[in-house]
Chain A
Amino acid sequence: MTEPTTQAGTPAPRRKDERPGRAGGASLNRLGDRKKARLEELAQASAGKGGVSLFRDALRRLRRNPAAIVGATIIALFVLVAIFAPLIAPHDPVQRFDELTSRLAADHIPGATDGFPLGSDELGRDLLSRLIYGSRQTLFVGVLATLIGLAIGVLLGAIAGAFGGWVDNILMRVTDVMLALPALLLAITLVALASKSSQWTVILAVAIVSVPVFARLLRGSMLAQRESDHVLAARALGVKEHNIVLRHMLPNAMTAVIVQATLTLSVAIIEAASLSFLGLGDPNRDRAEWGAMLGDAGVRYFEVRPELAYYPALAIIVVALGFTLLGEAMREAIDPKNRR
């Protein structure tokens, strides 16, 4: 029942005892500069300290949250499988095996047999190996789409949040236009507008969908900070505006963005699968990617062999769950409302 006593964003200590002496003009100037540098140092030290302890605090809460642990474990396993896919997978994911192709028929896709624990896919390839290699492509598509979306969104949001005024206004109208279309519809439109779909159109479409989300988030957080005590303190101390933005506002705002990125990853993986299902996915059938495996062959052969859908779907659900769990635990951890 104890109340929290730690306070966030303690304003930088004010220093009054330093006064430029009556030395010559040049040294006065230098003194002034030194004062500013020192003050900035102080402001930073205090902000930094606040930042670190807040971060540690959040991390501590995160470690005690079972949802975070489950999520992190899933993601760790997912990444490990992706990295060591060649060592884990029993077969080459693109090789078509005669013993499997020979048994393929219009109404039959062979299940588990010797050496192929999950059986064949629709073209006589080893389903297990494709699933294992699929983690690589899925991770690649998800991470890349999220990173691109994040980069563009952060850039737009930071510019809007840092400059404010008409720049902010125009950039926010741009995000309005993007937000006017529901996510998947925007992705569909973007893929459709490209003359030919490829893995890159999928990545870009999924990325662009997340741009306005990141941009608005970062901008909102930065605007909120413009008014916050520690930024006001830094400004009062004469810290240069670009330093305030780069060293004070941006790092704090990024926390929210990183949380959002974690959540976006799960959405990106699912959206990529949806595009495949609509026939707008990666046309390269050699490439094993869970979304494509599920959205394309998985549903096409659902009545013949539903396992072609079950396995990649299960993989997608588990991984999406992992990112969602971790992301929400992170959001909870950095929410000051939950500080204990």
Chain B
Amino acid sequence: MSLLDVRDLSVVFQRRGERPFTAVDKVSFTVEPGQTVGLVGESGCGKSVTSLAIMGLLPKRGNKVTGEVLFDGTDLLKLRRDDMRDRRGRDIGMIFQDPLSSLNPVIPIGVQVAEVLERHQGRDRRQALREARELLDAVGIPDPDRRLKEYPHQISGGMRQRALIAIALACKPRLLIADEPTTALDVTIQAQILTLLKQLVDDTGTALIMITHDLGVVAGLCDTVNVLYGGKVVERARRHELFAHARHPYTHGLLSSVPRLDSLRGERLHAIRGSVADNIPWTEGCAFAPRCDNVVDACLEGAPTLEPTATGGDLRCNNPVSEEVAVP
């Protein structure tokens, strides 16, 4: 059985006086124990909303979540609020994008790590702080004794993200969700944090959902990749398959827009035309059609379906990039 089995997850935002907006549209994917799965796409593609829906962290009002999120066989969407509360932080940990704003500014780092242990492991404050010290040490924060008593504004961005990782992993969860964990960091720090994540995931056997817009992150970390566009999965493939033979024009475009050191001099960087704002609704056709180089008539006659590919992945496209064409 999969550790996490997301089936037809949909999130519709509905504000009074505004048209309902489908942020996540029947998304399905699975995460096996110990596996690292990537959710990739531009901002607004629904990847963060997906993660918040899995965690039950969407606002109480103004949205409708449907589908199933089976964690170890239990549908998280059907859990009572308090039962979900028991699982968050214990079974599933989460790391957010901006480490400064994600930490409480007026509480010492130590307490912020310790409180998870107090909550889920029944530790008292002293014991929890002792364990928090070890956790800070484990995520590579130097001089952890001092850091325990310091406040978020007193430590560097990289260290803050390490502290958040320590919090998320404090109770040894079986699943970790990382929502763009390196976006807000300096490039040099990004690599350090990714290495740390990889190492921790390998050591503890924690499964990881990596949410990112950065294919470089995916390349170094993920076993399987789900490419999201307009709230739907448009391509799913194992990492090597994806990088070697991207089939969906969108994935293809994403890959071509990454600058490469081995590209020929004078070769132009490919960019995907337009922006997410050009999307058409899936009911009218393929949301990506207005930006797509491979668009055919069928693309404007209803949404294409997600079909299994010969290589064991899935693809939602009427006119995929042919396998013969090498990635430029």
The answer, yes or no, to whether A278 is at the interface (CB within 8 Å) is: no
The answer, yes or no, to whether A23 is at the interface (CB within 8 Å) is: no
Q: B194 to chain A: closest CB distance in Å? A: 28
Please indicate the chain B residues that have their CB under 8 angstroms from the CB of A1 in the complex: 13, 21, 23
Q: A126 to chain B: closest CB distance in Å? A: 47
1/0 per residue, CB under 8 A from B, across A266-286: the answer is 000000000000000000000
Please indicate the chain A residues that have their CB under 8 angstroms from the CB of B21 in the complex: 1
Q: How many A-B residue pairs have CB under 8 A?
A: 3
Could you say which interface size class chain B belongs to? under 10
Please indicate the chain A residues that have their CB under 8 angstroms from the CB of B23 in the complex: 1
Q: Which of B1-53 contact A (CB under 8 A)?
A: 13, 21, 23
Please indicate the chain A residues that have their CB under 8 angstroms from the CB of B13 in the complex: 1
Q: B14 to chain A: closest CB distance in Å? A: 12
CA–CA, A1 to B13, complex, Å? 9
Closest B residue to A1 by CB, please name it: B21
Closest A residue to B49 by CB, please name it: A1
CA–CA, A1 to B45, complex, Å? 12
Q: A338 to chain B: closest CB distance in Å? A: 16
CA–CA, A59 to B263, complex, Å? 52
Q: B172 to chain A: closest CB distance in Å? A: 36
Q: Which of A1-55 contact B (CB under 8 A)?
A: 1
CA–CA, A1 to B62, complex, Å? 12
Q: B47 to chain A: closest CB distance in Å? A: 14
CA–CA, A1 to B63, complex, Å? 13
CA–CA, A1 to B21, complex, Å? 9
Q: A3 to chain B: closest CB distance in Å? A: 10
1/0 per residue, CB under 8 A from B, across A289-311: the answer is 00000000000000000000000
Closest A residue to B18 by CB, please name it: A1
CA–CA, A1 to B14, complex, Å? 11
Q: Which of B77-110 contact A (CB under 8 A)?
A: none
CA–CA, A1 to B46, complex, Å? 12
Closest A residue to B21 by CB, please name it: A1
CA–CA, A150 to B57, complex, Å? 48
Q: A61 to chain B: closest CB distance in Å? A: 15
Q: Which of B262-283 contact A (CB under 8 A)?
A: none
Q: B24 to chain A: closest CB distance in Å? A: 13
- Mark B residues whose CB is within 8 Å of A: 13, 21, 23
| 3 A-B residue pairings within 8 Å (CB atoms) | A1-B13, A1-B21, A1-B23
- Mark A residues whose CB is within 8 Å of B: 1
